[in-house]
Amino acid sequence: MRRPRLQLQQELLSTRREIDSQAVQILALENALRDRPLLPPDAPESEKDKLIMEQGKTIRELEIVVKGYEDNLGEPLRAVREDVESEWQVKLDEEVKKRQEKEAWADELVKQLEREKKVRLVVKPIG
C-alpha cells in the first residue's frame, strides 16, 4: 500500500532525527572511551578487572546504539525506496510503451516507403 508523500516525508524526518541523536550518542561514547586513561602494566588486578568491566559495558552500549541505528535506518528507508520505485515504475512503463508505439509506427512508415519504392520501380513513366 502506498503511503502519502507527506507521511513519508514526516517519517523520513523523524528517522533522520533519531539517526542524528544516535550519532551524537556514538560520538559521546567514543569521546568518553578516548578520554579514559589506560592502566599501567603494574596496576592491581582489581583495577584491570574494573577496566575490563567498564569496557565491556561501553561495548554493549555501542552495540545497542549501532543496532538501534541499523533498525531505524532499515524500515523507513526501505519503505521510501519501495514507494519511489513503484511511483517511477509506472512512469517507466508508460515511457517504454510510448517508445514501442513510436518504433512500431516508424517500422510501418519504413514498410510503406519500401512498398512505394517498389511501385515506382515497377511502374516507370513512359516518356
- pTM for the full predicted model: 0.35
**77 falls within a domain:** yes
**126 falls within a domain:** no
**Per-residue pLDDT tens over the stretch 61-89:** 888 887 877 666 666 667 777 787 888 88
**68 falls within a domain:** yes
Q: Are 77 and 15 in contact (CB under 8 A)?
A: yes
52-59 contacts at long range (C-beta below 8 A, 24 or more positions apart): 58/29, 58/32, 58/33
> Which structural domain, as residue segments, surrounds residue 61?
5-90
Residue 30 in this model has a pLDDT that exceeds 90: no
**Per-residue pLDDT tens over the stretch 113-127:** 898 888 888 876 665
**106 falls within a domain:** no
Q: How many domains does the chain have?
A: 1
- Helical H segments across the chain, by residue range: 5-35, 45-122
Any idea which residue has 528517522 for its cell? 15
**119 falls within a domain:** no
